[in-house]
Amino acid sequence: MKHDVLSGSQVAERARLAIPGGVNSGQRSVPGLTDLVIVHAEGARFRDADGREFVDYHAAFGPPLLGHNDPDVGAAVAEAGRTVDLCGVGVTRGEVELAETLVELVPSVEKVLLTSTGSEATFHALRVARAATGRRLVVKFQGCYHGWHDAVSLNVISAPDRVGGRDPISTGILPEVLEATLVLPFNDAAAVRAAFAEHGHDIAAVIVEPVPHNVGCLLPEQEFLATLREECTRAGSVLVFDEVITGFRHDLGGWQKLSGITPDLTTMGKAIANGYPVGALGGRADLMELFSSRPGGPAFFAGTYNGHPAVVAAALATLRKLRTEPVHEHVFRLGERIRTGLADVFAGLGLPALVTGFGSVFVAYFMTGPARTYDDLLRNDAAMFIGYRRRLLEHGVFELPLNLKRSHVSYAHTDADVDRLLEAAEAAARAQLA
């Protein structure tokens, strides 16, 4: 039978037969939503095979800052398709224009390479840091996600009894790879100084989400980021800001522009191309030149699809729109309305909640007190967090019903969408409390 006459549950059943777990990426299969088959996405909404429509605040974990299927991005991709596709030799004009744009926009970026995903960018950042320093260790922070590869697979979302312990997100990783990664608490400058005092001579890189959005939102203390910069400079280690989420979404120059703290390398992705598969690694020219294949740099970098003309066209169209239309103004205003509105809703119900975020990103934790570190987030009432979001679905509002996940507004969301979210929030929280 053809898929388009099947119900969502029938397609999902067939998916599970042909695709392990029925989905193509970890965390796309969500308890209670295992039969979700998406058939249409446009603007701030998507629709499933059973005709349910949702206002989408999940936003595919972050890329479509302009909204789904943005017409200008779509037109640029279609035009690219009529002009050139992948040739795998030389360079296209679009790649050069995109590289020059990233160099212009992002303070740390003197030279830049394109990848197809953020994971490839963080992988290569660590590789080149080791190549440059000849050192072994990498430092990451609790709650930060940098992609699927082995070196960064520790303490991403850890159970309370394993926070700080060795906690790979996957089996099948060599223990010696995990042992070469030190995990420190976020926002803890003293822990950073102590780690450098003990291991500084062997630390190749420090990699950090300047705002750890993979656990919702931990806002960085300026002293913490400044300490990373100081210690890396003193020890000759490479500081990597993973701006795959924060880049372009929070500012065209990323968090480094907002904080005034410049890393040595920056990884980017997601919002660059509004949903087309892109990543980028940029930074200090001397480090990036280690990848140079002419006349033969010591670090190897490759990827069949890097700089794909359709993706590059999507990125150029996205960045053009971000620079010429009031996108940030719009999403920041709606984000602020949502954060204030949600805080009022929960306070009105006497429900302990911490509503936080930045710009277009928001998250409501069900806990009291500040959220500075991953440890703090262990106080979040996960059952309430997930239960509340499942009830939002009944009102046609989609926030991913998984613990600690952030939500996003896009340029396509309207004030009416925000009104609807706030009404749904009140009804969902009330029902959850009943």
What is the sign of the dihedral through the CA atoms of 29, 31, 37 and 41?
A: negative
H/E stretch holding 335: helix 327-348
Q: How many of the other CB atoms lie within 10 Å of CB of 277?
A: 16
- Give the nearer residue to ligand PLP in terms of CB position, either 119 or 432: 119
Check: CB of residue 148 under 8 Å from CB of residue 154: no
Q: Which of 127, 130, 146, 339 binds ligand PLP (CB under 6 A)?
A: 146
What are 108's strand-pairing partners?
A: none
- Give the nearer residue to ligand PLP in terms of CB position, either 273 or 384: 273
155 near ligand PLP (CB under 6 A):
no
Question: Residue 430 is which amino acid?
Answer: R
- Give the nearer residue to ligand PLP in terms of CB position, either 119 or 256: 119
307 near ligand PLP (CB under 6 A):
no
Piece in contact with ligand PLP (CB under 6 A), picked from 144-152, 289-297, 341-349, 426-434:
144-152
Q: Which of 209, 251, 417, 426 binds ligand PLP (CB under 6 A)?
A: 209
Q: Which of 15, 114, 245, 280 binds ligand PLP (CB under 6 A)?
A: 245
122 near ligand PLP (CB under 6 A):
yes
- Among candidates 377, 372, 416, which has minimal Cα distance to 396? 416
Piece in contact with ligand PLP (CB under 6 A), picked from 66-74, 85-93, 145-153, 332-340:
145-153
22 near ligand PLP (CB under 6 A):
no
153 near ligand PLP (CB under 6 A):
no
Strands 354-358 and 279-283: unpaired
- Give the nearer residue to ligand PLP in terms of CB position, either 147 or 275: 147
Piece in contact with ligand PLP (CB under 6 A), picked from 89-97, 114-122, 286-294, 331-339:
114-122
145 near ligand PLP (CB under 6 A):
yes
- Among candidates 105, 165, 66, 55, which has minimal Cα distance to 396? 55
The least distance separating ligand PLP from the CB of residue 414, rounded to whole angstroms, comes to 26
What is the sign of the dihedral through the CA atoms of 151, 156, 158 and 164?
A: positive
Q: Which of 119, 153, 407, 432 binds ligand PLP (CB under 6 A)?
A: 119
**What is the dihedral angle through the alpha carbons of 191, 137, 301, 262, rounded to the nearest 10 degrees?**
30
247 near ligand PLP (CB under 6 A):
no
Give the footprint of ligand PLP on residues 273-292 (CB under 6 A). Answer: 279
Rounded distance, CA 423 to CA 217, Å? 23
Q: How many residues bind ligand PLP (CB under 6 A)?
A: 15
What are residue 280's phi and psi, to 5 degrees? -155, 145
Rounded distance, CA 223 to CA 258, Å? 14
- The SS3 call for residue 271 is helix
Piece in contact with ligand PLP (CB under 6 A), picked from 89-97, 118-126, 224-232, 286-294:
118-126
256 near ligand PLP (CB under 6 A):
no
Q: Which residue is nearest to ligand PLP (CB)?
A: 118
Q: Which of 143, 147, 359, 387 binds ligand PLP (CB under 6 A)?
A: 147
417 near ligand PLP (CB under 6 A):
no
Residues carrying an active site annotation? 145, 242, 270
Rounded distance, CA 121 to CA 272, Å? 13
- The SS3 call for residue 235 is helix
Distance of CA 147 to the CA centre of its chain: 9
The least distance separating ligand PLP from the CB of residue 117, rounded to whole angstroms, comes to 3
Give the footprint of ligand PLP on residues 34-63 (CB under 6 A). Answer: 61
Rounded distance, CA 149 to CA 161, Å? 23
What is the sign of the dihedral through the CA atoms of 251, 255, 261 and 262?
A: negative
**What is the dihedral angle through the alpha carbons of 17, 20, 25, 29, rounded to the nearest 10 degrees?**
70
The least distance separating ligand PLP from the CB of residue 395, rounded to whole angstroms, comes to 27
Piece in contact with ligand PLP (CB under 6 A), picked from 242-250, 315-323, 334-342, 361-369:
242-250
The least distance separating ligand PLP from the CB of residue 265, rounded to whole angstroms, comes to 13
Check: CB of residue 425 under 8 Å from CB of residue 342: yes
Number of H helices, E strands in the chain: 14, 14
Contact positions toward ligand PLP, by CB under 6 A? 61, 117-119, 122, 145-147, 209, 214, 242, 244-245, 269, 279
